[in-house]
Amino acid sequence: MSNYRTIELDRHAGIFKALSSPHRLQIFSLLAGCCESGTGTRCSTDEVMKYCVGDLSSRLNIAASTLSHHLKELHRAGLIEMQRQGKQIFCSINPSTLAEVSALFTNASQTPFITLRTPMDHKNADDIRQNVRASYSQVAEASNSGDCCGETSSCCGVSSDDAINTLVSTRLGYSADDLAAVPNGADMGLGCGNPRAIASIKAGETVLDLGSGGGFDCFLAAAETGEQGHVIGVDMTPVMISKARDNASRGLYHQVEFRLGEIENLPVADASVDVIISNCVINLSPNKARVFAETFRVLKTGGRLAISDVVAGTELPDEIRDDLQLYSGCMAGASLISELETILADCGFSEIKISPQDESREFIKDWAPGRGVEDYVLSASIEAVKPGGCRP
């Protein structure tokens, strides 16, 4: 580094600053061709992929205004090039900056300096979601027909045996009263914590449950909001939604409704929710930045997140990260705590608090016996607040 000139130092620091956001890394990774093969236009002269901005927005699930801000930052740092062609703007990687930064790490400018990975980067986000949906359809159907999937119940398996589900949920901190209060079949032992315990739900509030499954946490939340409140469960698996609606009508929960949809594209109005709960779901999303951006959109100012989820305490090895079954089982998709903190801060959340629960490794080891997943992932509570508004 002795011959490192100040001017280079400043420029390189600017490059790393520009890359210090999950959205910008996502964009950069796609333009650099580090992800799945693109549908962009390969320019025959320089072999660089060019993407039209509109395509990038839908492909990466990033709102156009947010995308334009991030593209400007990447462009300012010299990482990408932007070109207007007719009415459209095309962007591409700047090969010389890429090679230059590459040399910093490898002394061999031919070697890509960064191999950015998305979970299972050979799969695209929709493939992952379809796989997760198929798994939870099976879970709901098995539960409906009373088929038992295994000796133990877990985030990925379901037991028709109420005694097993009770055991699992009691381990997560639900009381016998909680379990007795909900319609039969609502608790499928699919959680990894008890988000309601940290949500401080008040009478009359609007609660949103991400990935509501059979509606277990929604029904418990409804007891706290009372008839004047409103509880919305969102789930992308149609069989789960049907099951939850059936449970709601059997339990006469008039203030609870279930909406079919993806948590990355919430079917919920802007600034309409007081508290968002979720139990063991966000780890299943291939686009967590998008999920948290959506939670920020739908929360009222002063609204809060009270989430239980599986997180990674340390980087996952490839044999775990690339295992589709472990992904649907709420293990392989877990993000590092530091990544989640960055995503939440980037979205604008304040009072961010992620509290890993070491003792959860004990039950997580039963989710995939012998695989050693508990060495990497554990359950955590995730809390944050959308700033503004008056809170007592």
Ligand X SMILES: C[S@@+](CC[C@H](N)C(=O)[O-])C[C@H]1O[C@@H](n2cnc3c(N)ncnc32)[C@H](O)[C@@H]1O
Residues that bind ligand X (CB under 6 A): 129, 132, 136, 155, 188, 190-191, 211-213, 216-217, 235-237, 240, 262-264, 279-281, 284-285, 330
Q: How far is the CB of 219 from ligand X (least distance, A)?
A: 11
Identify which of residues 48 and 60 has a Cβ nearer to ligand X in the complex. Answer: 60
Identify which of residues 70 and 129 has a Cβ nearer to ligand X in the complex. Answer: 129
Strand order in the sheet with 377-385: 256-260, 230-235, 206-210, 273-279, 299-312, 377-385, 350-357
Q: How far is the CB of 330 from ligand X (least distance, A)?
A: 6
Identify which of residues 81 and 217 has a Cβ nearer to ligand X in the complex. Answer: 217
Are 153 and 166 spatial neighbours (Cβ–Cβ below 8 Å)? no
Q: How far is the CB of 239 from ligand X (least distance, A)?
A: 9
Q: How far is the CB of 35 from ligand X (least distance, A)?
A: 19
- Beta strand pairing status for 80-85 and 230-235? unpaired
Identify which of residues 28 and 136 has a Cβ nearer to ligand X in the complex. Answer: 136
Residue with tokens 């997580």: 364
- Beta strand pairing status for 80-85 and 88-93? antiparallel
Q: How far is the CB of 284 from ligand X (least distance, A)?
A: 4
Q: How far is the CB of 305 from ligand X (least distance, A)?
A: 15
Identify which of residues 100 and 121 has a Cβ nearer to ligand X in the complex. Answer: 121
Identify which of residues 102 and 265 has a Cβ nearer to ligand X in the complex. Answer: 265
Q: How far is the CB of 154 from ligand X (least distance, A)?
A: 9
Identify which of residues 80 and 128 has a Cβ nearer to ligand X in the complex. Answer: 128
Identify which of residues 32 and 347 has a Cβ nearer to ligand X in the complex. Answer: 347
Identify which of residues 75 and 259 has a Cβ nearer to ligand X in the complex. Answer: 259
Identify which of residues 240 and 306 has a Cβ nearer to ligand X in the complex. Answer: 240
Q: How far is the CB of 156 from ligand X (least distance, A)?
A: 7
Show the 3-state SS of the chain: CCCCCHHHHHHHHHHHHHCCCHHHHHHHHHHCCCCCCCCCEECCCCCCEEEEHHHHHHHHCCCHHHHHHHHHHHHHCCCEEEEEECCEEEEEECHHHHHHHHHHHHCCCCCCCCCCCCCCCCCCHHHHHHHHHHHHHHHHHHHHHCCCCCCCCCCCCCCCCHHHHHHHHHHCCCCHHHHHHCCCCCCCCCCCCCCHHHHCCCCCCEEEEECCCCCHHHHHHHHHHCCCCEEEEEECCHHHHHHHHHHHHHCCCCCEEEEECCCCCCCCCCCCEEEEEEECCHHHCCCHHHHHHHHHHHEEEEEEEEEEEEEECCCCCHHHHCCHHHHHCCCCCCCEHHHHHHHHHHHCCEEEEEEEEHHHHHHHHHHCCCCCHHHCEEEEEEEEECCCCCCC
User: Helices 22-31 and 288-298 sit at what angle, rounded to 10 degrees?
Assistant: 140
Q: How far is the CB of 236 from ligand X (least distance, A)?
A: 4
Q: How far is the CB of 211 from ligand X (least distance, A)?
A: 3
Taking the CA atoms of residue 132, residue 355, residue 352 and residue 194 in that order, the dihedral angle to the nearest 10 degrees is 60
